[in-house]
A = this chain, B = another copy of it.
Amino acid sequence: MELNEALARLAELQKKLYAYQAADSALYLDGTTVAPKDTAEGRGVALGILAGERHRLFSAPETGELLDFLWERGAELDQLRRRQVEELRRSYAQLTRIPAEEYMEYAMLTNEAGDVWHRAKEAGDFELFRPLLEKLVAFNIRFAGYYDSTKAPYDALLNEYERGVDTVYLDGFFAALRGRIVPLLRAIGEKEQPDDSFLYRHYPVEAQRKFSDYLMEVLGLDRAHCTIGETEHPYTLEFNNKDVRITTHYHEDDVGNSMYSVIHEGGHAKYELGISDDVQYTCLAGGVSMGVHESQSRFYENLIGRSKPFIQAVFSKMREFFPEQLGDVTAEQFYRAVNKARPSLIRTEADELTYCLHIMVRYELEKQLIGGTLEARDVPEAWNRLYREYLGVDVPDDRQGCLQDSHWSGGAFGYFPSYALGSAYGAQMLKNMEAEIDVWGPVSRGDLSGVSEWLREKVHRYGGLLEPADVVKNACGQFDPAVFADYLEKKYSELYGL
Protein backbone atom coordinates (compact mmCIF):
# COMPACT_ATOMS: atom_id res chain seq x y z
CA MET A 1 0.00 0.00 0.00
CA GLU A 2 1.24 3.49 -0.82
CA LEU A 3 1.33 6.01 2.02
CA ASN A 4 -0.85 8.46 0.09
CA GLU A 5 -3.49 5.85 -0.55
CA ALA A 6 -3.43 4.87 3.12
CA LEU A 7 -3.89 8.49 4.16
CA ALA A 8 -6.83 8.87 1.79
CA ARG A 9 -8.37 5.76 3.32
CA LEU A 10 -7.72 7.13 6.78
CA ALA A 11 -9.64 10.30 5.93
CA GLU A 12 -12.46 8.32 4.34
CA LEU A 13 -12.77 6.03 7.35
CA GLN A 14 -13.11 9.00 9.67
CA LYS A 15 -15.66 10.72 7.45
CA LYS A 16 -17.72 7.55 7.54
CA LEU A 17 -17.50 7.41 11.32
CA TYR A 18 -18.59 11.04 11.36
CA ALA A 19 -21.57 10.24 9.14
CA TYR A 20 -22.73 7.39 11.37
CA GLN A 21 -22.37 9.68 14.37
CA ALA A 22 -24.36 12.39 12.63
CA ALA A 23 -27.12 9.91 11.79
CA ASP A 24 -27.20 8.73 15.36
CA SER A 25 -27.31 12.31 16.62
CA ALA A 26 -30.11 13.32 14.28
CA LEU A 27 -32.21 10.36 15.37
CA TYR A 28 -31.48 11.07 19.02
CA LEU A 29 -32.24 14.77 18.65
CA ASP A 30 -35.51 13.93 16.94
CA GLY A 31 -36.40 11.30 19.52
CA THR A 32 -35.92 13.71 22.41
CA THR A 33 -37.59 16.74 20.89
CA VAL A 34 -40.34 16.41 18.29
CA ALA A 35 -40.84 12.69 17.66
CA PRO A 36 -44.32 11.35 18.44
CA LYS A 37 -44.53 9.56 21.76
CA ASP A 38 -44.97 5.95 20.65
CA THR A 39 -42.21 5.74 18.08
CA ALA A 40 -39.19 4.51 20.01
CA GLU A 41 -39.41 1.03 18.55
CA GLY A 42 -38.80 1.94 14.93
CA ARG A 43 -36.10 4.42 15.89
CA GLY A 44 -34.47 1.71 17.97
CA VAL A 45 -34.37 -0.62 14.99
CA ALA A 46 -32.63 2.05 12.93
CA LEU A 47 -30.19 2.99 15.69
CA GLY A 48 -29.35 -0.65 16.31
CA ILE A 49 -28.66 -1.33 12.67
CA LEU A 50 -26.57 1.82 12.24
CA ALA A 51 -24.54 1.01 15.32
CA GLY A 52 -23.96 -2.43 13.85
CA GLU A 53 -22.89 -1.02 10.51
CA ARG A 54 -20.53 1.42 12.17
CA HIS A 55 -19.15 -1.40 14.26
CA ARG A 56 -18.70 -3.63 11.24
CA LEU A 57 -16.89 -0.85 9.37
CA PHE A 58 -14.63 0.12 12.23
CA SER A 59 -13.82 -3.40 13.40
CA ALA A 60 -13.10 -4.79 9.93
CA PRO A 61 -9.66 -6.44 9.67
CA GLU A 62 -8.77 -4.00 6.86
CA THR A 63 -9.25 -1.14 9.28
CA GLY A 64 -6.83 -2.74 11.70
CA GLU A 65 -4.34 -3.34 8.90
CA LEU A 66 -4.63 0.24 7.71
CA LEU A 67 -4.04 1.58 11.19
CA ASP A 68 -1.09 -0.73 11.82
CA PHE A 69 0.44 0.26 8.50
CA LEU A 70 0.14 3.95 9.34
CA TRP A 71 1.39 3.41 12.86
CA GLU A 72 4.55 1.87 11.52
CA ARG A 73 5.02 4.84 9.21
CA GLY A 74 4.32 7.24 12.08
CA ALA A 75 7.57 9.15 11.63
CA GLU A 76 6.40 10.21 8.16
CA LEU A 77 3.06 11.57 9.36
CA ASP A 78 2.27 15.08 10.54
CA GLN A 79 1.11 15.58 14.12
CA LEU A 80 -2.59 15.56 13.18
CA ARG A 81 -2.44 12.28 11.31
CA ARG A 82 -0.20 10.66 13.89
CA ARG A 83 -2.61 11.56 16.62
CA GLN A 84 -5.59 10.33 14.59
CA VAL A 85 -3.91 6.98 14.07
CA GLU A 86 -3.05 6.73 17.77
CA GLU A 87 -6.63 7.44 18.84
CA LEU A 88 -8.19 5.20 16.22
CA ARG A 89 -5.89 2.32 17.12
CA ARG A 90 -6.91 2.63 20.73
CA SER A 91 -10.61 2.61 19.80
CA TYR A 92 -10.07 -0.21 17.32
CA ALA A 93 -8.40 -2.37 19.93
CA GLN A 94 -11.31 -1.80 22.30
CA LEU A 95 -14.03 -2.18 19.73
CA THR A 96 -12.74 -5.36 18.19
CA ARG A 97 -13.17 -6.93 21.59
CA ILE A 98 -16.92 -6.18 21.55
CA PRO A 99 -18.87 -8.67 19.44
CA ALA A 100 -20.89 -6.85 16.78
CA GLU A 101 -24.10 -8.46 17.99
CA GLU A 102 -23.65 -7.25 21.56
CA TYR A 103 -22.81 -3.83 20.28
CA MET A 104 -26.04 -3.64 18.26
CA GLU A 105 -28.10 -5.11 21.05
CA TYR A 106 -26.72 -2.48 23.38
CA ALA A 107 -27.62 0.37 21.02
CA MET A 108 -31.18 -0.89 20.89
CA LEU A 109 -31.24 -1.33 24.66
CA THR A 110 -30.18 2.25 25.38
CA ASN A 111 -32.78 3.53 22.97
CA GLU A 112 -35.48 1.54 24.72
CA ALA A 113 -34.12 2.45 28.16
CA GLY A 114 -34.28 6.15 27.35
CA ASP A 115 -37.92 5.79 26.52
CA VAL A 116 -38.74 3.67 29.56
CA TRP A 117 -36.76 5.95 31.88
CA HIS A 118 -38.83 8.90 30.66
CA ARG A 119 -42.03 7.09 31.50
CA ALA A 120 -40.72 5.72 34.78
CA LYS A 121 -39.62 9.17 35.87
CA GLU A 122 -42.98 10.66 34.90
CA ALA A 123 -44.77 8.02 36.90
CA GLY A 124 -42.19 7.95 39.71
CA ASP A 125 -42.11 4.19 39.11
CA PHE A 126 -38.63 2.76 39.62
CA GLU A 127 -39.85 -0.80 39.09
CA LEU A 128 -40.68 0.10 35.49
CA PHE A 129 -37.06 1.09 34.91
CA ARG A 130 -35.40 -1.58 37.04
CA PRO A 131 -35.22 -4.41 34.44
CA LEU A 132 -33.58 -2.00 32.00
CA LEU A 133 -31.12 -0.82 34.62
CA GLU A 134 -30.19 -4.41 35.34
CA LYS A 135 -29.47 -5.05 31.68
CA LEU A 136 -27.53 -1.80 31.35
CA VAL A 137 -25.35 -2.66 34.33
CA ALA A 138 -24.72 -6.18 33.03
CA PHE A 139 -23.75 -4.83 29.62
CA ASN A 140 -21.42 -2.25 31.14
CA ILE A 141 -19.69 -4.82 33.29
CA ARG A 142 -19.12 -6.95 30.18
CA PHE A 143 -18.03 -3.93 28.15
CA ALA A 144 -15.62 -2.86 30.89
CA GLY A 145 -13.90 -6.20 30.46
CA TYR A 146 -13.65 -5.57 26.73
CA TYR A 147 -12.28 -2.07 27.29
CA ASP A 148 -9.54 -3.13 29.65
CA SER A 149 -9.61 -6.51 31.29
CA THR A 150 -6.60 -5.65 33.46
CA LYS A 151 -8.64 -3.06 35.34
CA ALA A 152 -11.53 -3.46 37.75
CA PRO A 153 -14.73 -2.95 35.70
CA TYR A 154 -15.63 0.46 37.13
CA ASP A 155 -12.04 1.69 36.67
CA ALA A 156 -12.20 0.60 33.04
CA LEU A 157 -15.40 2.60 32.58
CA LEU A 158 -14.02 5.67 34.35
CA ASN A 159 -11.04 5.53 32.04
CA GLU A 160 -13.42 5.85 29.09
CA TYR A 161 -14.71 9.20 30.27
CA GLU A 162 -11.49 10.60 31.69
CA ARG A 163 -8.40 8.72 30.71
CA GLY A 164 -6.11 8.02 33.64
CA VAL A 165 -8.74 8.48 36.31
CA ASP A 166 -9.58 5.55 38.61
CA THR A 167 -11.29 4.86 41.93
CA VAL A 168 -8.08 5.35 43.93
CA TYR A 169 -7.68 8.82 42.41
CA LEU A 170 -11.35 9.69 42.85
CA ASP A 171 -11.66 8.32 46.37
CA GLY A 172 -8.83 10.69 47.30
CA PHE A 173 -10.27 13.59 45.35
CA PHE A 174 -13.73 13.26 46.81
CA ALA A 175 -12.44 12.69 50.33
CA ALA A 176 -10.37 15.88 50.08
CA LEU A 177 -13.37 17.83 48.83
CA ARG A 178 -15.73 16.40 51.40
CA GLY A 179 -13.25 17.35 54.11
CA ARG A 180 -13.52 20.98 53.06
CA ILE A 181 -17.14 21.20 51.90
CA VAL A 182 -18.86 19.56 54.85
CA PRO A 183 -17.44 21.97 57.50
CA LEU A 184 -18.23 24.90 55.21
CA LEU A 185 -21.79 23.69 54.81
CA ARG A 186 -22.09 23.21 58.56
CA ALA A 187 -20.90 26.77 59.20
CA ILE A 188 -23.36 28.08 56.61
CA GLY A 189 -26.15 26.16 58.30
CA GLU A 190 -25.71 28.36 61.33
CA LYS A 191 -26.05 31.56 59.32
CA GLU A 192 -29.16 33.28 58.08
CA GLN A 193 -30.15 32.26 54.56
CA PRO A 194 -30.77 34.93 51.92
CA ASP A 195 -34.30 35.29 50.58
CA ASP A 196 -34.57 33.53 47.22
CA SER A 197 -38.36 33.30 47.04
CA PHE A 198 -38.46 35.64 44.03
CA LEU A 199 -36.73 32.97 41.94
CA TYR A 200 -39.85 30.85 42.33
CA ARG A 201 -42.45 33.35 41.22
CA HIS A 202 -44.37 32.71 38.01
CA TYR A 203 -42.05 33.03 35.00
CA PRO A 204 -43.98 32.33 31.76
CA VAL A 205 -42.21 30.03 29.30
CA GLU A 206 -42.52 32.54 26.46
CA ALA A 207 -40.57 35.19 28.41
CA GLN A 208 -38.03 32.60 29.48
CA ARG A 209 -37.48 31.65 25.83
CA LYS A 210 -36.67 35.26 25.01
CA PHE A 211 -34.37 35.43 28.01
CA SER A 212 -32.56 32.32 26.71
CA ASP A 213 -32.02 34.09 23.39
CA TYR A 214 -30.48 36.98 25.27
CA LEU A 215 -28.22 34.69 27.29
CA MET A 216 -26.99 33.00 24.13
CA GLU A 217 -26.14 36.41 22.76
CA VAL A 218 -24.18 37.30 25.91
CA LEU A 219 -22.37 33.96 25.66
CA GLY A 220 -21.46 34.85 22.08
CA LEU A 221 -23.21 31.81 20.58
CA ASP A 222 -23.84 32.45 16.89
CA ARG A 223 -27.40 31.35 16.15
CA ALA A 224 -26.50 30.50 12.58
CA HIS A 225 -24.44 27.65 14.03
CA CYS A 226 -26.13 26.92 17.33
CA THR A 227 -29.81 26.61 18.16
CA ILE A 228 -31.67 25.99 21.38
CA GLY A 229 -34.41 23.38 21.78
CA GLU A 230 -36.51 22.02 24.60
CA THR A 231 -36.18 18.56 26.12
CA GLU A 232 -36.96 16.78 29.37
CA HIS A 233 -33.30 16.85 30.35
CA PRO A 234 -31.04 19.58 28.90
CA TYR A 235 -28.11 18.49 26.74
CA THR A 236 -25.63 19.64 24.12
CA LEU A 237 -25.29 17.79 20.87
CA GLU A 238 -22.62 18.56 18.30
CA PHE A 239 -22.63 17.56 14.67
CA ASN A 240 -19.42 19.47 13.96
CA ASN A 241 -17.78 22.78 14.86
CA LYS A 242 -20.30 24.64 12.69
CA ASP A 243 -23.41 22.88 13.97
CA VAL A 244 -24.14 22.53 17.65
CA ARG A 245 -27.49 22.26 19.46
CA ILE A 246 -28.26 22.94 23.06
CA THR A 247 -31.51 22.23 24.85
CA THR A 248 -33.13 23.38 28.04
CA HIS A 249 -36.24 22.69 30.06
CA TYR A 250 -38.44 25.54 31.24
CA HIS A 251 -40.01 25.48 34.69
CA GLU A 252 -42.56 28.25 35.09
CA ASP A 253 -42.01 28.35 38.84
CA ASP A 254 -38.20 28.49 38.77
CA VAL A 255 -36.34 31.00 36.62
CA GLY A 256 -32.87 29.91 37.70
CA ASN A 257 -33.32 26.38 36.47
CA SER A 258 -33.37 27.07 32.76
CA MET A 259 -31.12 30.13 33.11
CA TYR A 260 -28.25 28.04 34.42
CA SER A 261 -29.03 25.13 32.10
CA VAL A 262 -28.64 27.48 29.15
CA ILE A 263 -25.35 28.86 30.46
CA HIS A 264 -24.11 25.35 31.28
CA GLU A 265 -25.00 23.85 27.91
CA GLY A 266 -23.81 27.07 26.31
CA GLY A 267 -20.39 26.35 27.82
CA HIS A 268 -20.37 22.91 26.19
CA ALA A 269 -21.40 24.54 22.93
CA LYS A 270 -18.64 27.16 23.17
CA TYR A 271 -16.14 24.32 23.45
CA GLU A 272 -17.44 22.47 20.40
CA LEU A 273 -17.78 25.63 18.30
CA GLY A 274 -14.26 26.67 19.26
CA ILE A 275 -12.56 23.53 17.99
CA SER A 276 -10.38 24.25 14.99
CA ASP A 277 -11.41 23.38 11.44
CA ASP A 278 -8.46 21.10 10.79
CA VAL A 279 -9.74 18.30 13.01
CA GLN A 280 -13.30 18.32 11.62
CA TYR A 281 -14.66 15.04 10.26
CA THR A 282 -11.88 13.18 12.06
CA CYS A 283 -11.78 11.27 15.32
CA LEU A 284 -10.18 14.36 16.90
CA ALA A 285 -13.27 16.50 16.35
CA GLY A 286 -15.24 17.05 19.54
CA GLY A 287 -14.15 17.74 23.08
CA VAL A 288 -11.29 15.66 24.39
CA SER A 289 -12.93 14.17 27.49
CA MET A 290 -16.00 14.46 29.66
CA GLY A 291 -14.07 16.05 32.48
CA VAL A 292 -12.65 18.75 30.24
CA HIS A 293 -16.10 19.22 28.68
CA GLU A 294 -17.68 19.67 32.07
CA SER A 295 -14.91 22.05 33.05
CA GLN A 296 -16.11 24.32 30.26
CA SER A 297 -19.84 24.03 30.93
CA ARG A 298 -19.36 24.54 34.65
CA PHE A 299 -16.90 27.35 34.07
CA TYR A 300 -19.56 29.35 32.28
CA GLU A 301 -22.34 28.21 34.58
CA ASN A 302 -20.70 28.80 37.94
CA LEU A 303 -17.39 30.62 37.79
CA ILE A 304 -18.80 33.17 35.37
CA GLY A 305 -22.59 32.78 35.50
CA ARG A 306 -22.87 32.77 39.29
CA SER A 307 -20.25 35.51 39.78
CA LYS A 308 -21.24 38.94 41.02
CA PRO A 309 -19.81 40.81 38.00
CA PHE A 310 -21.76 38.66 35.54
CA ILE A 311 -25.01 39.08 37.43
CA GLN A 312 -24.42 42.81 37.66
CA ALA A 313 -23.93 42.84 33.88
CA VAL A 314 -27.08 40.94 32.92
CA PHE A 315 -29.50 41.75 35.71
CA SER A 316 -30.91 45.03 34.42
CA LYS A 317 -31.71 43.37 31.09
CA MET A 318 -33.14 40.39 32.94
CA ARG A 319 -35.52 42.71 34.74
CA GLU A 320 -36.79 43.87 31.34
CA PHE A 321 -37.81 40.28 30.52
CA PHE A 322 -39.39 39.81 33.95
CA PRO A 323 -40.48 43.26 35.12
CA GLU A 324 -43.18 42.03 37.48
CA GLN A 325 -41.23 39.13 38.87
CA LEU A 326 -37.97 41.00 39.51
CA GLY A 327 -39.04 44.63 39.80
CA ASP A 328 -38.42 44.65 43.54
CA VAL A 329 -35.16 42.69 43.42
CA THR A 330 -31.60 44.03 43.27
CA ALA A 331 -28.65 42.47 41.48
CA GLU A 332 -27.03 41.87 44.85
CA GLN A 333 -30.12 40.02 46.10
CA PHE A 334 -30.22 37.97 42.92
CA TYR A 335 -26.53 37.14 43.26
CA ARG A 336 -27.05 35.94 46.80
CA ALA A 337 -30.16 33.96 45.86
CA VAL A 338 -28.55 31.97 43.04
CA ASN A 339 -25.65 31.19 45.34
CA LYS A 340 -27.75 30.08 48.25
CA ALA A 341 -26.08 26.96 49.58
CA ARG A 342 -28.30 24.35 51.13
CA PRO A 343 -28.67 20.60 50.87
CA SER A 344 -31.26 19.65 48.26
CA LEU A 345 -32.68 16.74 46.28
CA ILE A 346 -32.04 17.49 42.62
CA ARG A 347 -28.52 17.52 41.21
CA THR A 348 -29.24 19.89 38.33
CA GLU A 349 -30.75 22.39 40.72
CA ALA A 350 -28.00 22.10 43.31
CA ASP A 351 -25.85 25.06 44.25
CA GLU A 352 -22.18 25.20 43.45
CA LEU A 353 -21.14 24.15 46.94
CA THR A 354 -23.30 21.08 47.52
CA TYR A 355 -23.16 19.93 43.91
CA CYS A 356 -20.17 17.69 44.46
CA LEU A 357 -22.01 15.88 47.24
CA HIS A 358 -24.70 14.91 44.73
CA ILE A 359 -21.94 13.55 42.52
CA MET A 360 -20.42 11.58 45.36
CA VAL A 361 -23.74 9.77 45.90
CA ARG A 362 -23.82 8.70 42.27
CA TYR A 363 -20.15 7.81 42.30
CA GLU A 364 -20.61 5.51 45.28
CA LEU A 365 -23.64 3.82 43.73
CA GLU A 366 -22.03 3.33 40.33
CA LYS A 367 -18.93 1.95 41.92
CA GLN A 368 -21.04 -0.60 43.77
CA LEU A 369 -23.39 -1.40 40.88
CA ILE A 370 -20.55 -2.08 38.48
CA GLY A 371 -18.48 -3.64 41.25
CA GLY A 372 -21.30 -6.13 41.82
CA THR A 373 -21.90 -5.20 45.45
CA LEU A 374 -25.22 -3.47 44.80
CA GLU A 375 -28.24 -4.87 42.96
CA ALA A 376 -30.30 -2.61 40.70
CA ARG A 377 -33.37 -3.30 42.82
CA ASP A 378 -31.60 -1.88 45.87
CA VAL A 379 -30.68 1.40 44.18
CA PRO A 380 -33.59 3.47 45.54
CA GLU A 381 -32.88 2.48 49.11
CA ALA A 382 -29.13 3.02 48.79
CA TRP A 383 -29.70 6.33 47.02
CA ASN A 384 -31.96 7.58 49.76
CA ARG A 385 -29.57 6.42 52.46
CA LEU A 386 -26.61 8.25 50.91
CA TYR A 387 -28.62 11.43 50.42
CA ARG A 388 -29.44 11.28 54.10
CA GLU A 389 -25.80 10.64 54.97
CA TYR A 390 -24.06 13.11 52.63
CA LEU A 391 -26.64 15.86 52.33
CA GLY A 392 -28.88 15.29 55.31
CA VAL A 393 -32.07 15.25 53.26
CA ASP A 394 -34.91 12.76 53.00
CA VAL A 395 -35.84 11.68 49.49
CA PRO A 396 -39.64 11.62 49.26
CA ASP A 397 -39.90 9.64 45.98
CA ASP A 398 -37.78 8.17 43.19
CA ARG A 399 -38.80 10.89 40.81
CA GLN A 400 -36.82 13.27 42.99
CA GLY A 401 -34.41 10.49 43.79
CA CYS A 402 -32.71 7.87 41.70
CA LEU A 403 -34.86 8.46 38.61
CA GLN A 404 -33.89 12.12 38.24
CA ASP A 405 -30.94 11.73 35.85
CA SER A 406 -30.90 10.36 32.32
CA HIS A 407 -27.28 9.19 32.40
CA TRP A 408 -27.74 5.60 33.42
CA SER A 409 -30.61 5.13 30.98
CA GLY A 410 -28.17 6.14 28.25
CA GLY A 411 -25.66 3.61 29.51
CA ALA A 412 -23.31 6.19 31.02
CA PHE A 413 -21.73 4.68 34.14
CA GLY A 414 -18.59 6.53 35.12
CA TYR A 415 -19.64 9.86 33.65
CA PHE A 416 -20.83 11.58 36.84
CA PRO A 417 -17.37 12.07 38.41
CA SER A 418 -16.47 14.18 35.34
CA TYR A 419 -18.78 16.89 36.63
CA ALA A 420 -16.84 17.21 39.86
CA LEU A 421 -13.49 16.95 38.12
CA GLY A 422 -14.65 19.59 35.66
CA SER A 423 -15.53 21.94 38.49
CA ALA A 424 -12.10 21.48 40.00
CA TYR A 425 -10.34 21.97 36.65
CA GLY A 426 -12.39 25.12 36.08
CA ALA A 427 -11.34 26.71 39.34
CA GLN A 428 -7.71 26.26 38.36
CA MET A 429 -8.33 27.65 34.90
CA LEU A 430 -9.89 30.74 36.44
CA LYS A 431 -6.92 31.24 38.71
CA ASN A 432 -4.54 31.09 35.74
CA MET A 433 -6.82 33.24 33.61
CA GLU A 434 -6.94 35.93 36.28
CA ALA A 435 -3.14 35.96 36.34
CA GLU A 436 -3.00 36.57 32.58
CA ILE A 437 -5.93 38.79 31.62
CA ASP A 438 -8.48 41.19 33.10
CA VAL A 439 -11.35 38.78 33.64
CA TRP A 440 -13.82 40.72 35.75
CA GLY A 441 -13.72 44.19 34.24
CA PRO A 442 -15.12 43.08 30.87
CA VAL A 443 -17.43 40.45 32.42
CA SER A 444 -19.01 43.13 34.61
CA ARG A 445 -19.88 44.93 31.36
CA GLY A 446 -21.36 41.75 29.83
CA ASP A 447 -18.34 41.21 27.60
CA LEU A 448 -17.25 37.57 27.71
CA SER A 449 -15.02 37.74 24.66
CA GLY A 450 -11.76 37.80 26.63
CA VAL A 451 -12.79 34.79 28.71
CA SER A 452 -13.91 32.90 25.63
CA GLU A 453 -10.74 33.77 23.77
CA TRP A 454 -8.56 32.52 26.63
CA LEU A 455 -10.49 29.23 26.83
CA ARG A 456 -10.48 28.84 23.09
CA GLU A 457 -6.73 29.32 23.02
CA LYS A 458 -5.93 27.05 25.96
CA VAL A 459 -8.63 24.40 25.64
CA HIS A 460 -11.21 24.56 22.83
CA ARG A 461 -9.18 24.72 19.66
CA TYR A 462 -7.31 21.48 20.28
CA GLY A 463 -10.33 19.21 20.19
CA GLY A 464 -8.83 15.77 20.68
CA LEU A 465 -5.40 16.71 19.39
CA LEU A 466 -3.85 16.60 22.87
CA GLU A 467 -4.37 14.05 25.61
CA PRO A 468 -6.97 15.10 28.20
CA ALA A 469 -4.27 15.33 30.85
CA ASP A 470 -2.23 17.62 28.60
CA VAL A 471 -5.17 19.92 27.96
CA VAL A 472 -5.75 20.08 31.71
CA LYS A 473 -2.08 20.81 32.29
CA ASN A 474 -2.09 23.41 29.54
CA ALA A 475 -4.94 25.35 31.11
CA CYS A 476 -4.64 24.43 34.80
CA GLY A 477 -1.02 23.65 35.47
CA GLN A 478 -0.50 20.89 38.04
CA PHE A 479 -3.92 19.52 39.12
CA ASP A 480 -4.66 20.33 42.73
CA PRO A 481 -8.17 19.92 44.19
CA ALA A 482 -7.25 22.38 46.94
CA VAL A 483 -7.54 25.26 44.45
CA PHE A 484 -11.20 24.42 43.97
CA ALA A 485 -11.75 24.05 47.70
CA ASP A 486 -10.01 27.41 48.27
CA TYR A 487 -12.26 29.02 45.67
CA LEU A 488 -15.40 27.62 47.33
CA GLU A 489 -14.22 28.65 50.78
CA LYS A 490 -13.47 32.20 49.69
CA LYS A 491 -16.72 32.63 47.78
CA TYR A 492 -18.99 31.20 50.43
CA SER A 493 -17.21 32.86 53.33
CA GLU A 494 -17.83 36.19 51.67
CA LEU A 495 -21.44 35.29 50.85
CA TYR A 496 -22.31 34.13 54.33
CA GLY A 497 -19.95 36.31 56.33
CA LEU A 498 -18.13 33.32 57.85
Task: Pick the most buried of A26, A33, A48, A243: most chain B CB atoms within 10 A of its CB.
Answer: A26
In the complex, A45→B53 CA distance in Å? 18
In the assembled complex, how far is the CB of residue A294 from the closest CB belonging to chain B, in whole angstroms?
24
Q: A26-B27, A42-B243 are in contact. Are A227 and B19 (CB under 8 A)?
A: no
Which B residues are in CB contact (< 8 Å) with A360? Answer: none
Within 8 A of B (CB), among A13-63: 15-16, 18-20, 22-23, 26-27, 29-30, 33-39, 41-43, 45-50, 53
Within 8 A of B (CB), among A42-90: 42-43, 45-50, 53
Task: Pick the most buried of A38, A46, A227, A239: most chain B CB atoms within 10 A of its CB.
Answer: A46
Within 8 A of B (CB), among A227-255: 227, 229, 239-240, 242-243, 245
**A8 touches B (CB below 8 Å):** no
Which B residues are in CB contact (< 8 Å) with A19? Answer: 45-50, 53
**A263 touches B (CB below 8 Å):** no
Contact B223 A36 (CB under 8 A): yes
Contact A23 B35 (CB under 8 A): no
A-B contact pairs, 25 of them (CB 8 A): A16-B49, A18-B46, A19-B48, A19-B53, A22-B27, A22-B42, A23-B46, A26-B27, A26-B29, A34-B227, A34-B245, A35-B227, A36-B224, A36-B226, A37-B223, A38-B242, A39-B225, A39-B239, A42-B239, A42-B240, A42-B242, A42-B243, A43-B239, A46-B239, A53-B53
Q: What 5 new A-B contacts, CB under 8 Å, besides A18-B46, A23-B50, A46-B239?
A: A18-B49, A23-B46, A26-B30, A37-B224, A42-B243
The 8 closest A-B pairs by CB, nearest first: A23-B23, A19-B49, A22-B46, A39-B243, A26-B26, A42-B240, A38-B224, A19-B46
